Amino acid sequence: MDEKIGFKLNGQSVSVTSDGARMFLGVLRYDLGIKGVKYGCGEGFCGACTVLVDDKAVRSCRTPLKDVKGRNVVTIEGLARGEELHPIQKAFMKRDALQCGYCTPGMILNAYSLLRRDQNPTKAKIIDEMSGNLCRCGTYARIVEAIQDAAREMRGEK
């Protein structure tokens, strides 16, 4: 049954009238036009659909719409501050940590979630925490370097 569900999306209050059991990925892409969130596997295995809910990375393909009611949702479209890219976005560009870019929004948001919890993760921890996000183009080494760069910048070391 349809219900009105309100939440914050990239700093704006929005509401959607829909079946609360629908997966959030479809609501974002098709109802709200947020195309930075990607459909990969649709089954929770690839991380392409990752968004932040209250600063925690979640897989929107496995998250029912009702679970984001009243929560603060950020997609890749909401990470920059005006014209100023987030340090993780800048580091991905500087390190050329993407090819086709399909996995990139999910990678960056998962990295954001990691760096919120741990400002100085080891390389092993980065690899472990990012292991659920798949990149068909195989840019893993550069992704890890970009996250290390971003962590340093966010700690004020450069």
Residue whose tokens read 């950020």: 74
Name which of 79 and 107 has its Cβ closer to ligand FES: 107
CB of 43 to ligand FES, least distance (A): 6
Compute the least distance from the CB of residue 40 to ligand FES, in Å.
Answer: 4
Cβ closest to ligand FES, residue 12 vs residue 145: 145
Which of residues 9 and 48 has its CB atom nearest to ligand FES in the complex? 48
What does the alpha-carbon distance between residue 39 and residue 49 come to, in Å, rounded to a whole number? Answer: 6
| Ramachandran angles phi, psi of 86, nearest 5° | -65, 150
Angle at 103 between CA 129 and CA 81, to 5 degrees: 85
Q: Least Å distance between CB 134 and ligand FES?
A: 7
CB closer to ligand FES out of 30 and 45 = 45
In this structure, what DSSP letter does residue 81 have? B
The least CB distance from residue 46 to ligand FES, in Å, is 3
Give the Cα separation of 48 and 50 in Å (integer): 6
| Interface positions with ligand FES (CB under 6 A) | 39-42, 44-49, 59, 61, 98-104, 135-137, 139
Q: Is the dihedral of CA 52, 38, 145, 136 positive or negative?
A: positive
